[in-house]
Structures are given as C-alpha cells and as structure tokens.
Amino acid sequence: MIKMSQNKLNKQTDDKNLENKVDGNVKVEPASNSGNSGVETRLHTPDICPACHNKMQRYNMGSLEAYDIYSCQLCGSLFLDPPVQRRDVDNFYSDLDPEVVHIANHEKRIKALRKLIDKIVVKPEGKTFLSINTLQGYAVEAAKDFRFKEIRGIDRYDFFVDFAKRNYGEKYFEAISVEEYAERGETANIVVSIESFSTQVDTEKHMQAIAKIMKPGSILYIEEVDGNSHFLPNDLTRWAYLQPPITTNFISEKAMRSLLERNGFKVKKKFFNWGIMMKLVAVKVK
C-alpha cells in the first residue's frame, strides 16, 4: 500500500488560482429554474462552455452519485454538475490510499507506445520528451528506445510517480502538476498527453500550461476520450470511464481543436480508430 504524504496533499490543494478560476465560471441558479425536460438548468451551469467558449446550452444526460452529467449542445463535450474541485480529487485519493499496480498487458501497452512515438517524432536526436499525466510511466519506458536528449515523466500524484520510479528509473520522474512545471520555466519538444484532460478541473488552464512548456515547432500528442463520440454508451451512468471525481469532463474533438487553436497549436494529424478515443498530433505554431 502506498501512502500519500500530507505535505504533498496540502501543496496540491494550495493551488488557489485554479479553484478561483473554476468558482468564477460557475453561475448559481435557483433550483426552480429546472423545469423543462431534456434541457434544463440545475445548480451550477457556467455561462460559457469551458471547452468551446460558446454560450452554454445545457443538455442533461443523467445522474451519477452526487453529480449530474450534462453536455454542451454546441460542441458535445460532457461535464459534471457540480463541477469537481481539485480538493475533491485530493480528498478522494487521500481517503482511498491508492495502491498502484500494472495495467493488464502492460508490456503490450509499452510496445504500442513505442510505435506511436515512432509515428509522431521524426528526429528524436537533441530533443526533450515529456510525458504528462504519466501514471505508471509507460510512455517514458517506451521513449527510452529513441535517441532523445532527455526523457521525463511527470504526474501530479506521488503514488504514481513512486511506482514509475521503482519500475522504470528514479531519474526520469517527478511528482509535479503541469502548471507548476510550466511555472518553473521547463521546456519540452515532444509532449505526450494521454487521458490528462479528462482529469482536469480547468482544461483551459491545463492547455495554457502545456503551451507554455512548448516552443514553436514542438509536437503535442493528445489521446483523450471524445465526449461526443458515436461509440459512447447510451446510458452514461454505467460507463466505466466516468469516475467522478477522478474523471471530471470529456471534451469533444471539435472543442479540443478549438482549445488547441486558442493556445497556439495547429492540428497536423489525426489517427483514426474505431473506438471512443480521439488521437491528435498538433504542432505549436506561435
């Protein structure tokens, strides 16, 4: 069992800007406002969709535990009401005391990641590779096959980083948020982000931090559940991916593209797949 240190938790919960930003976006409506079936306003609906930045037109999709699930009718992204706060996630993990183990067939996963890196990186020589939301560290292990100048993996939670360090090498990993990493002035030429946006309480701030790490010409790979995928189950309340407060929102591909453009990226390539994932390669253009 892996214990999370209380200091670490306090540090993470200390991100006041993040919480204020989310709070600032939330409009509290009186409960009597909810009446029409299908489209209604409950307690906490932002005026503006956090993903596509259009005026929020809410469509309710059911309830799960303490949360209502709804989508933005304009971009199809999925959100939770009330919106998850960072302290909710930290408290959740603190209570859970997570034990990190390998995913099933993790060697196969690493092999697939090697193939992926080979597809998105032309010349690894002299470049810095960064895996964000690195979890067990598989992307870092895969990157060791290439001649990167430097390979790093970061994750907000030290229980994942401890696991990654034990399995794939102390020197590669650090428990730090992307925001703090960007704030420190770190840079990377290749950033691999796998299912990192769905766990963010503020996706715009997350993308801004990624953008800050990357200079023009740098490559960003995003793999994320498409909140508007045709392959999503009809009943989202029984959907394994939706695990509040760990997963808090699922941005549609349309909204992800606008989020990328707003932050200086241009989508260069899209990998097709039959499932619910969107797989985009974007280049930093400014």
- Select 50 or 244, whichever has its Cβ closest to Zn ion: 50
| Binding segment toward Zn ion, per CB under 5 A, in 50-58, 86-94, 178-186, 232-240 | 50-58
Q: How far apart are CA 252 and CA 229, in angstroms?
A: 7
How would you class 53 by CB atoms within 10 Å of its CB: exposed for 0-12, middle for 13-18, buried for 19 or more?
Answer: middle
Q: How far apart are CA 170 and CA 176, in angstroms?
A: 15
Q: Identify which of 187, 238, 183 has the alpha carbon closest to the alpha carbon of residue 205.
A: 183
| Binding segment toward Zn ion, per CB under 5 A, in 52-60, 93-101, 117-125, 210-218 | 52-60
Q: How far apart are CA 281 and CA 223, in angstroms?
A: 9
By CB under 5 A, the count of residues binding Zn ion is 6
Q: In this chain, which of 61, 72, 207, 225 binds Zn ion, going by CB under 5 A?
A: 72
Q: In this chain, which of 4, 18, 22, 49 binds Zn ion, going by CB under 5 A?
A: 49
Judged by CB under 5 A, does residue 278 bind Zn ion?
no
- Select 213 or 251, whichever has its Cβ closest to Zn ion: 251
| Binding segment toward Zn ion, per CB under 5 A, in 44-52, 96-104, 197-205, 235-243 | 44-52
Contact characters 158-177, Zn ion, x per CB under 5 A: --------------------
Distance of closest approach, residue 262 Cβ to Zn ion, in angstroms: 13
- Select 72 or 154, whichever has its Cβ closest to Zn ion: 72
| Binding segment toward Zn ion, per CB under 5 A, in 64-72, 187-195, 223-231, 261-269 | 64-72
Distance of closest approach, residue 46 Cβ to Zn ion, in angstroms: 10
Give the footprint of Zn ion on this chain (CB under 5 A).
Answer: 49, 51-52, 72, 74-75
